Amino acid sequence: MKIGNCDLGEKPVFLAPMEDVTDPSFRYVCKKYGADMMYTEFVSSDGLIRDAAKSLAKLEIFDYERPIGIQIYGHIPEALVESAVRVEAAGPDVIDINFGCPVKKIAGRGAGSGMMREPDKMVEITRRVVEAVKLPVTVKTRLGWDEDSKIIVELAERLQDAGISALTIHGRTRCQMYKGEADWTLIGKVKENPRMHIPIIGNGDIKTPEDAAAAFERYGVDGVMIGRASYGHPWIFKEVKHYLKTGELLPPMTLKEKVELAKEHLAQSLRFKGERGGVLEMRRHLSCYFKGLPDFKETRLRLVTENDPAAIPPLLDYILERWGDEQ
Catalytically annotated residues: 101
DSSP 73-141: E-S-HHHHHHHHHHHHHH--SEEEEEE----HHHHTTT-GGGGGG-HHHHHHHHHHHHHH-SS-EEEEE
Report the distance separating Cα 208 and Cα 91, nearest Å: 32
Instruction: State the DSSP code for 11.
Output: S
Please, what sign has the CA dihedral across residues 58, 62, 64, 67?
Answer: positive
Cβ of 37: how many Cβ atoms within 10 Å? Answer: 24
Task: Map 211-245 to HEC letters.
Answer: HHHHHHHHHCCCEEEECHHHCCCCCHHHHHHHHHH
State the distance between the two ends of the chain, measured CA to CA, in whole angstroms.
39
Q: Compute the distance between CA of residue 228 and CA of residue 208 in angstroms, rounded to an integer.
A: 12
Query: Kindly report the CA angle at 141 between 140 and 147, in degrees rounded to 5?
Result: 165
21 and 41 Cβ atoms separated by less than 8 Å: yes
**Three-class DSSP category at 12:** coil
